[in-house]
Structure 1
Amino acid sequence: MAGIKPSPARPRSESGNPSTTLRRFSGNGEPVKKAVSQDEKRRTREAEKAEKLMHLVCWGPKLYSSSSSSFSSLDNVIDSMIQRNQDAFREILNSVNPDIVEQVFKPRKRRYIHRDREGNHRQLMKEYFEENYIYLPEYFRRRFKMQRELFLRILNDVKAYDDYFIQKRDAIGRLGLSSIQKMTTAIRILVYGYVVDHCDEYIKIDENTAIETLMTFCKVVIGVYGEEYMRPPNEADIARLLQEGEERGFLGMLGSIDCMHWEWKNCPVTWHGTHKGRSHTPTLILEAVASKDLWIWHTFFRMPGSHNDINVLYHSPVFDSIITGQIPLVNFVMNDYYHTMGYYLVDGTYIPE
């Protein structure tokens, strides 16, 4: 129609970026460009330059497969890379804020925490191991789950097997952690499930060293006692076990077997129903066979806490060696009957209905 004129097109920026689109405000109606902080633009440019600088310093330029294949060694690649990019590197370095360059290339010191491990060693000795110790033997037994004599015997065997547990001096001549401190750390983690932060506060040992000490202690214990413990008894062991049982009035007894419930603190909620038993808390059952002198040669640990001892015994491999004939025969006479198989003493009897 002749009387109607089309409205002029809305002005747009050359780049087409919506953030720089001209807007019309009320008032005089003149197009005004959206104000952007100059400081923000400058900070963005400085950050981009610093990022490029760090890329060149840390990673270097991109190497294409076609060009890198012509180099015979890594030194030639590095020399060519520096030669091709030194101009770009110098340009970026000169244009970046000196404060940013200083912050990027500022040497970072390793954080050092002074732990009084010497004082902690003296405190441990004063509390448990010196002649006039502070805590009585029953306190040591409750806190370390073993007698002091057994602890010291294991400590001597571990030190003789691996010099990791022998106290040494570091690069500056300062004494490191003592063998008692390292073994105490491993025992506390195994017995109580201590976190490494608690060990750091109590024994003055950092996280990495505590984990390393625990792993080394477990490997050393397996190496030292693996051939004696956690194996089926041989003929000499069976003869000794039968003699111990006969002295106590139990002919043919090979040891005591029992099941104990270990609380599973971090058990998933969906598994609570299958792992709750008489204690009404999620547990896992440990079956073990031990002799009078606490020689443990059989363990079975995986059954949920909702099972009773008979169910655990059905799944246990404790009788597999007898079924397959791998264990020596036991010969004894009781009540005028000749027996060729031994038995285990339990703490209760289940009579089937």
Structure 2
Amino acid sequence: MESLKKFCETIVSVFSTDYLRSPNTNDITRLLAAAEQRGLPGMLGSIDCMHWKWKNCPVAWKGMYSVHIREPTIILEAVVSYDLWIWHAFFGMPGSHNDINVLERSFIFTKLAQGRAPPVNYTVNGHDYTMGYYLADGIYPKWRTFVKTIPTPKGNKNKHFAKAQEYTRKDVERAFGVLQQRFAIIQGPSLLFKVKDMTNIMKACVTLYNMIIEDERDNVDNLDMEYDQLEDLPELSRNHTTNIMDFFQGHLHIRDNSAHHQLQEDLIEHQWLLSSQQ
């Protein structure tokens, strides 16, 4: 057990900088190109949560960590791209929380709100957008950074879009399945006693998982592109500071409800146009 803990700590400390990072400019260029081919311009991936059962959860904490199945769990929030690479992994929230509670506490949009995220520019149905989005299920809020399905679609346009969104969003569910299949330690209930140790194990598994994805990328990536030889554009300084009002404004910009509906309408029209050309 001690060897396992030391191994996971070492994997995270040595490799997490490269394999648990957010997309850089070159990565976003590749992700946008793949999204364009799939008929969803501006998509950066799919987001969802996975529960890891905690068998040895302390009795005093079981109420806080238990969900509807009455078993303690800890939640992993992840963003997955078309090649099943995990770009964002936020782990540690008690299982009693839902996806919205986890989202409110995760760091997924911190750089975006601070103005430090790489630019994302695309056009859909004649409208220009400067913020990428993730495919999400119905529980997620109506923000401009999420595109959700239509629960009860009416008309051929809406039905076609709902089918395309739900099919593409399966990327994140597939990634969770592959992650658990490759690492049996997170497929079954955890026998550890500390959340910190479980966090290191989960991060180590995601890091190793991304290593495997990188090794197999030549077989998965069907795009006729090569970005490994491109140099990354210089990132903003770590000492970059954001005015508190700009930070609040950035969050309000992300949570724009009207922009969410406009983007969805534009994607519905775009999808329908593509289907009519086939």
Q: TM-score, normalised by structure 2?
A: 0.47
